[in-house]
Chains A and B, each alone.
Chain A
Amino acid sequence: MKKSLLLIAPAVALGAAALALPGAASAAGSTHYQAELNPLNKSSASGTVMISLNGSQATVTESVSGLADKFGGNPYPHVQHIHIGARGECPTTAADKNDDGVISTTEGAPSYGAIGATLSTSGDSSPAAGTTLTVAPSGASFTYSRTITLDAKTRAALADGTAVIVVHGLDPATLSKQAQGEKSDLVPSLPLAATSPALCGTLVASQMSSMPGGSADTGGGGTSGVEDQAVLGLGGALLAAGLGAGALAMRRRTASES
């Protein structure tokens, strides 16, 4: 069996030794949760959230797409939270008590509860920052990655399956005429569309007892590039030597015949 003869073989072998799996790195002793985010209120968005909880520190990794893109010409801010203290469910259309075609944040509360933590981009992540638009991620698609502190009530909700991720902010054009004219139940200076839920998903314990971290380095490149370079090199050298000797023989024969 020919061996590959990459010149940097020792270094490559070491590189191949660092086998790790893709995804966010997790600390030892962490518990892992995940949520698939499903659309509410005729949104066409989707997304996923993973939380790695180590003590009171929660590393939240999120990816969403398909949300409302612009609000008054600027990127649409989507306030988002971990809701706790209720049934740990996402509301159905039955929750639309005033029949305006929109499940408002208040109408959804019996399903998912009040804010336990705010998934803000910076600064305060407590419920107090729940409607601060300036620290909400914005636009139609975004990824979010931040480590925040969770209080005891939110950690307990994670553990008993009653923690729900809700991302707010609907495209007003998708609302009924009636709902388009309504004010937000949370912030009366904003329209209803701005604070109503667009995505919702219950956080469930991961089936992995420890989520893999890093990239899967399951390959040292032994079959990439040009293999068996010495074989090819020797072959080339012999061929060149043979052609050279052949030319020499031809010249001698020509000289001897002259």
Chain B
Amino acid sequence: MSGIAAHARRGRLTAAAASVLVLAGILLLVAGVRAQRRPPQPPASAAIAYTPVSSSPPGSALPGSSQRVAQASPRPSTDMPSTATPVTGPVLSRSVPIRLEIPELRIRSRLLQLGLNADQTVQVPPLAKDSEAGWYKYSPTPGQLGPSVILGHVDSAEYGPGVFFQLGALRPGNTVSVTRSDQTTAVFRVDRVVSYPKDRFPTLEVYGNTDSAQLRLITCGGDFDPSSHNYQSNIVAFATLVSSHPA
């Protein structure tokens, strides 16, 4: 074969190889960029308490604000003695929860029971590929009077998005159903979804006593601090029991 022809063929081969490499490179870059995922963060409007009638909402609270947010039930006036306030809404008996479903977010999860470690931190749901949510067992069972607490991972380093990755996309009015071991399903309506900085977490607002059967769904949110490997905020969805039915 003549030197010129071989040279030309090498040139064509190089050009062909170049095209393949460029194409492959672009495809991978596009795939990599499109695969970037971020957990949704609740907007300020999601912190405004849900009201089912068409009245104006009570005083709203912005995420991280130190103002006390108006609860669904009225606070005692200055002229009322601070005795026990009456219970509002339905209340179920105690029964350990086994399953959670959030239809609007297509979330379904078995519920583990989370206790306390010796150092008073809450036990962890295992960081598996299909991580499950857990009910904090020292809170009321879902449906009982008080704040029932359910936690789930937003993500993990090993497996990516967790069971509560979408929690920040919950909105007032959405439904959360929890099935208990007594085969009743407690149906909760989301009141508000708020992101709180962890260093200004309003403990009593989230874990304090309530006068109705309430739910607290908690995960992480806000900015991720790579040096401490921690998210800087917690996303909390507050929900109230509205009804129940056989599972």
Chain A residues with CB under 8 Å of chain B are 1-4, 6, 8-9, 11-13, 15-28, 34-36, 38-40, 42, 46, 48, 50, 61, 65, 89-93, 111, 164, 200-202, 204, 206-228, 231-232, 234-246, 248-249, 252-253, 256
**Once the chains bind, are B158 and A19 in contact (CB under 8 Å)?**
no
**Once the chains bind, are B4 and A256 in contact (CB under 8 Å)?**
yes
A210 to B4, CA, bound (A): 85
**Once the chains bind, are A218 and B158 in contact (CB under 8 Å)?**
no
A34 to B30, CA, bound (A): 54
A34 CB → nearest B CB, Å: 5
Given A231-B35, A243-B22, A246-B22, decide whether A212 and B149 contact each other with a Cβ distance below 8 A. yes
A96 CB → nearest B CB, Å: 11
Given A16-B157, A202-B82, A245-B17, decide whether A252 and B7 contact each other with a Cβ distance below 8 A. yes
**Once the chains bind, are A217 and B157 in contact (CB under 8 Å)?**
no
Closest to B223 in A: A224
A200 to B79, CA, bound (A): 11
Please encode chain B, from 221 to 239, with 1 for each CB lying within 8 Å of some chain A CB and 0 for all others: 1001010111100100000
**Once the chains bind, are A242 and B229 in contact (CB under 8 Å)?**
no
Q: Is B39 an interface residue (CB 8 A)?
A: yes
Q: Which of B43-51, B177-185, B205-213 contacts A (4 or more CB under 8 A)?
A: B205-213
Provide 29 A-B residue pairs closer than 8 Å at the C-beta atoms, listed in order of the A residue: A2-B35, A3-B159, A3-B160, A4-B160, A11-B229, A13-B157, A18-B121, A19-B125, A20-B122, A36-B75, A36-B82, A38-B76, A90-B82, A91-B81, A93-B79, A200-B82, A204-B84, A208-B146, A212-B136, A213-B120, A219-B155, A221-B226, A223-B160, A227-B32, A236-B29, A242-B24, A243-B18, A249-B14, A252-B7
Interface secondary structure of B, over-half rule = mixed
**Once the chains bind, are B121 and A256 in contact (CB under 8 Å)?**
no
5 cross-chain pairs, A with B, having the tightest CB-CB distances, nearest first = A239-B25, A235-B28, A242-B21, A207-B146, A219-B220
Closest to A205 in B: B209
Contact of B116 among A61, A210, A245 (CB under 8 A): A210
**Once the chains bind, are A206 and B20 in contact (CB under 8 Å)?**
no
B side interface size, CB within 8 A = 93
A13 to B160, CA, bound (A): 11
Given A224-B38, A242-B22, A248-B18, decide whether A207 and B218 contact each other with a Cβ distance below 8 A. no
Closest to B8 in A: A256
A218 to B161, CA, bound (A): 11
**Once the chains bind, are A221 and B231 in contact (CB under 8 Å)?**
yes
Chain B residues with CB under 8 Å of chain A are 4, 7-8, 10-12, 14-15, 17-33, 35-39, 66, 68, 75-76, 78-84, 114, 116, 120-125, 127, 136, 138-140, 145-147, 149, 151-162, 164-165, 196, 198, 201, 203-204, 206-210, 218-221, 224, 226, 228-231, 234
**Once the chains bind, are A218 and B127 in contact (CB under 8 Å)?**
no
Contact of B7 among A2, A210, A219, A256 (CB under 8 A): A256
Given A227-B36, A248-B14, decide whether A234 and B28 contact each other with a Cβ distance below 8 A. yes
Q: Which of B11, B17, B68, B136 has the most CB of A within 10 A?
A: B11
**Once the chains bind, are B138 and A34 in contact (CB under 8 Å)?**
no
A20 to B17, CA, bound (A): 54
A67 to B159, CA, bound (A): 49
Residues of B within 8 A of A204 (CB): 84, 209
Contact of B120 among A3, A27, A35 (CB under 8 A): A27
Closest to A209 in B: B138
Closest to B228 in A: A15
**Once the chains bind, are B164 and A249 in contact (CB under 8 Å)?**
no
Residues of A within 8 A of B204 (CB): 34, 36, 48, 50
**Once the chains bind, are B229 and A12 in contact (CB under 8 Å)?**
yes
**Once the chains bind, are A207 and B147 in contact (CB under 8 Å)?**
yes
**Once the chains bind, are B84 and A221 in contact (CB under 8 Å)?**
no
Given A216-B220, A246-B22, A256-B8, decide whether A20 and B120 contact each other with a Cβ distance below 8 A. yes
